A and B are shown apart, each in its own frame.
Chain A
Amino acid sequence: MTGRRVVITAGSAITPIGHTRGEIVDSLRRGVSGVKPLKEDHLLSKFIHSKVFGTVDYPVEFDFKRVHRKTMGPVAYYACQVAKETLEQSGLPHEFITSGRLGVAFGSTHGSPSVQRDIYKTFFTGAQTEFSTIGAVDYLKSMVHTTAVNITKMFGITGRVISSSTACTTSSQSIGYGYESVKYGMQDAMLCGGADEYDTTTVAVFDNLLACSTAFNDRPQCTPRPFDRLRDGLVVGEGAGAVLLEEYEHARQRGADILGEVIGFACNNNGGDLILPNMNGISETLRLGLKDAALNPDQVDFVSAHATGTKMGDVIEAQAIYAVYGAHPLVTGLKGYMGHTMGSCGAIETILTLYMMREGFIAPTLNLDEPDERCAMIRHTPALETRQIAIAGIQNFAFGGVNTSLLIRRFV
């Protein structure tokens, strides 16, 4: 289907490897890991076998008024901070932001698990004795769409709201659905992204499924190891990412700085097992993405793989990449640097790809020392490469069998 061109005119991320573009680029160039020991939460951490986490271990200055803070749990703080930075960076005037022509596509895996725990404590421990009612703001802080609507509230955004909550594909869906909203004329701009806070519930879930890395608890920086022979599972992380998608003519006429262009998106479902990745489903979503972008496979020169570092997931993904793209594009698993930032990973990985596009380099997969022979057929980025990415494919896959593929073109 034809439609309007959609460009990216701003972006910001809070990641385990840095907050500003300079910090993140420096971490990628120097091969810095943001994986640290799992923090004690006095609840689940002592039961979890994986003792590592992709951690935001630097202070973030949140300068929010009480009227905004009062409905925000930690995940909404992250979301509103990257949203604020992105809108400031974009230079969009207040009149446009509040006009109804800008919408929001933003989500998270759970909402705020830490607030949810406090609510449940009220019921199960009798902590509030006579006054065991859920506070008015508790639901607003904890609900699944808390990120999106705290953003609309803070900035007075009155366009459409899409709040995807599909775990690992949350923010790639945000970007994809936001792209379609602008492409087909429902909105002139969309603020898109995802966030997830530090949460041991998510770690416990993966830990119980034997999917978490446990062999490098004494060397957190050595895990995860996407595609590597010694990989032993994923590392859960926290973070947030936001991008501003804008109709191209609108961006051009106001002289916006264009970071890249979204040229295709696809999403499908495996239609079966809710945990195991599916070669056919993944391959099909990659093909659908190429079709949406009207591209041949050999036009994609870089793939940001989902590559969580699990035994089977990485193998199936490598096979799918090879089946669709062959050995042409350079492939990097960015989660090697920061773990799996869950609902924010699609947005963060898009932003990191945009940074590499602009800076003219491609970072290799951190901790990929020796590819598993079943993953070796694709072209892994061998080292820090000075190279201009023309078109990137950013792919993510989630529990529930949800698959996404985004195609981004460097804007010239």
Chain B
Amino acid sequence: MTREQITSAILEIFRREFEMENPGLDDNLRETGEFDSVDAIELLLEIERFLKTELTHEEKQMAMEIRTIRQIIDYVELLAKKRNENGNKQDR
């Protein structure tokens, strides 16, 4: 899975689920007022659906520091790479 594919998927999630069109990749999502803690949990669910995997509790906790879309893309890229290396051991 390429970074471009991940970027495209994340932006589509933001458009479809959070009604945010063309958000800045480096905008602080909390400061825009359009994205809050509830949305952060919903985003994790969308990431699980996208990667077709379940996130560990530690991976979810890591995500709580994320504030920008660029950081989300980095996070998903890391997860995808980890899953690939582990042969998708955590997949159900």
Binding site for B on A (CB under 8 A): 66-67, 70-71, 130-131, 133, 135-137, 140
Contacts of A136 in B (CB 8 A): 38, 41-42, 45
Which residue in chain A gives the minimum CB-CB distance to B38? A136
Is the CB–CB distance between B34 and A135 below 8 Å? no
Alpha-carbon gap, A140 to B92, bound state (A): 28
Is the CB–CB distance between B54 and A70 below 8 Å? no
Which residue in chain B gives the minimum CB-CB distance to A136? B41
Number of A-B residue pairs, CB cutoff 8 Å, is 27
Q: Among B18, B19, B38, B48, point to the contact of A131 (Cβ < 8 A).
A: B48
Is the CB–CB distance between A131 and B49 below 8 Å? yes
Distance from B40 Cβ to chain A, minimum over Cβ atoms (Å): 8
Alpha-carbon gap, A5 to B36, bound state (A): 41
Alpha-carbon gap, A135 to B40, bound state (A): 11
Interface residues in B45-62 by Cβ distance below 8 A to A read 45, 48-49, 52, 54
Given the contacts A67-B33, A131-B54, A140 and B38 also touching, CB distance less than 8 Å = yes
Alpha-carbon gap, A133 to B41, bound state (A): 11
Alpha-carbon gap, A137 to B42, bound state (A): 8
Contacts of A131 in B (CB 8 A): 45, 48-49, 54
Alpha-carbon gap, A71 to B48, bound state (A): 21
Alpha-carbon gap, A70 to B18, bound state (A): 9
Binary CB contact string for chain B from 20 to 51 against chain A (1 if under 8 A, 0 otherwise): 00000000000001101011011001001100
Is the CB–CB distance between B38 and A70 below 8 Å? yes
Alpha-carbon gap, A71 to B39, bound state (A): 10
Is the CB–CB distance between A135 and B92 below 8 Å? no
Alpha-carbon gap, A265 to B34, bound state (A): 42
Distance from A49 Cβ to chain B, minimum over Cβ atoms (Å): 40
Which residue in chain B gives the minimum CB-CB distance to A137? B38
Contacts of B92 in A (CB 8 A): 130
Alpha-carbon gap, A133 to B54, bound state (A): 11
Contacts of B41 in A (CB 8 A): 135-136
User: Can you list 14 residue pairs at the A/B interface with Cβ under 8 Å?
Assistant: A67-B33, A67-B36, A70-B39, A130-B52, A130-B54, A130-B92, A131-B45, A131-B49, A131-B54, A133-B45, A135-B41, A135-B42, A136-B41, A136-B45
Alpha-carbon gap, A137 to B17, bound state (A): 13
Is the CB–CB distance between A71 and B38 below 8 Å? yes
Distance from B56 Cβ to chain A, minimum over Cβ atoms (Å): 13
Alpha-carbon gap, A28 to B87, bound state (A): 69
Distance from B14 Cβ to chain A, minimum over Cβ atoms (Å): 12
Alpha-carbon gap, A71 to B36, bound state (A): 12
Given the contacts A131-B48, A131-B49, A66 and B38 also touching, CB distance less than 8 Å = no
Contacts of B52 in A (CB 8 A): 130
Is the CB–CB distance between A66 and B19 below 8 Å? yes
Contacts of B38 in A (CB 8 A): 70-71, 136-137, 140
Distance from B92 Cβ to chain A, minimum over Cβ atoms (Å): 4
Is the CB–CB distance between B34 and A67 below 8 Å? yes
Complex A-B, nearest 10 residue pairs according to Cβ-Cβ distance, in ascending order: A136-B41, A130-B92, A66-B19, A136-B38, A136-B42, A137-B38, A131-B48, A135-B45, A130-B54, A67-B34
Contacts of B39 in A (CB 8 A): 70
Alpha-carbon gap, A351 to B90, bound state (A): 57
Contacts of B45 in A (CB 8 A): 131, 133, 135-136
Contacts of B54 in A (CB 8 A): 130-131
Alpha-carbon gap, A66 to B41, bound state (A): 16
Alpha-carbon gap, A317 to B11, bound state (A): 60
Alpha-carbon gap, A135 to B42, bound state (A): 7
Distance from B22 Cβ to chain A, minimum over Cβ atoms (Å): 16
Contacts of B34 in A (CB 8 A): 66-67
Which residue in chain B gives the minimum CB-CB distance to A133? B45
Contacts of A133 in B (CB 8 A): 45
Which residue in chain B gives the minimum CB-CB distance to A69? B19
Alpha-carbon gap, A71 to B41, bound state (A): 13
Distance from A154 Cβ to chain B, minimum over Cβ atoms (Å): 14
Distance from B16 Cβ to chain A, minimum over Cβ atoms (Å): 12
Distance from B11 Cβ to chain A, minimum over Cβ atoms (Å): 17
Distance from A215 Cβ to chain B, minimum over Cβ atoms (Å): 47
Contacts of B48 in A (CB 8 A): 131
Alpha-carbon gap, A153 to B42, bound state (A): 19
Distance from A380 Cβ to chain B, minimum over Cβ atoms (Å): 51
